[in-house]
């Protein structure tokens, strides 16, 4: 997404931004340009293959990744399994999802995330290394979600991966979407 906004027309926010007790922390972070949202669309899998999407913190990022919220939407006709992996190496050849934006679009220039939202469809195998932290199930045309409120923290080199498969109906095709909200905290 290209920024066509004229910075001369932007909203000027007070600086520094002061947090008050009644202000939700994600709003405080968004005002600072540290909160981002994004999703991976058209994740295709089934017939013995899987798909995944995840937030990957590059080694050179200089930030810690805090996962605030994630969602998995089953847009197929097969029940799907969503495995949540910490710091793993998922299979396949991923691509970067371009469907990422800062939550505060009033800033100019718009902040750019250092975290990468990667995705891969029709992969063979499971993630290597790391920890399979938990598993969820999504019925057809259902969205599952969880607010982690920043408690899942990943340093440079870490990752938060959602790995999708359909083991209950392995001969059917499946499709899903995965979305995330996160903030980035500069390492001091």
Q: What is the pLDDT of residues 96-134, one digit of tens each?
A: 999 999 999 999 999 999 999 999 999 999 999 999 999
- pTM across the whole model: 0.89
Is 52 part of a structural domain of the chain? yes
Assess if residue 28 is contained within a domain: no
Domain count, the chain: 1
Please give the Cα distance from 61 to 79 (Å, whole number).
36
SS3 for 166? coil
Q: Which CATH number belongs to the domain containing residue 81 in this structure?
A: 2.60.120
Mean pLDDT of 89-101: 97
Residue 10, pLDDT score: 55
30 belongs to a structural domain? no
pLDDT digits (tens, 9 = 90+) for 25-48: 888 899 999 999 999 999 999 999
Per DSSP, the three-state class of 46 is strand
**What pLDDT shows up at residue 2?**
52
pLDDT at 16: 63
- What DSSP assignment string belongs to 63-126? EEEEEEEEEEEE-SSS-EEEEEEES-B-SS--EE---EEES-TTSSSPP--SSEEEEEEEE-S-
- The confidence score (pLDDT) of residue 26 equals 86
* Structural domain for 140, as ranges: 38-186
- Residue 24 forms part of a structural domain: no
């Amino acid at each position: 997404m290209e920024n066509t906004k004229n910075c001369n027309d932007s909203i000027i926010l007070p600086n520094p931004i002061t947090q008050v007790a009644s202000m939700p922390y994600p709003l405080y972070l968004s005002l600072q340009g540290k909160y981002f949202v994004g999703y991976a669309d058209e994740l295709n899998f089934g017939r013995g293959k899987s798909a995944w999407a995840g937030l990957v913190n590059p080694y050179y990022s200089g930030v810690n990744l805090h996962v605030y919220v994630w969602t998995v939407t089953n847009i197929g006709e097969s029940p799907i399994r969503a495995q949540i992996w910490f710091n793993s190496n998922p299979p396949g050849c991923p691509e970067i999802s371009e469907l990422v934006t800062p939550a505060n679009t009033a800033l100019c220039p718009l902040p750019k995330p250092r975290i990468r939202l990667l995705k891969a469809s029709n992969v063979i195998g499971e993630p290597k290394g790391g920890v399979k932290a938990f598993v969820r199930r999504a019925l057809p045309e259902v969205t599952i979600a969880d607010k982690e409120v920043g408690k899942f923290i990943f340093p440079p080199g870490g990752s938060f991966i959602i790995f999708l498969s359909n083991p209950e109906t392995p001969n059917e095709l499946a499709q899903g979407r995965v979305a995330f909200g996160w903030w980035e905290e500069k390492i001091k």
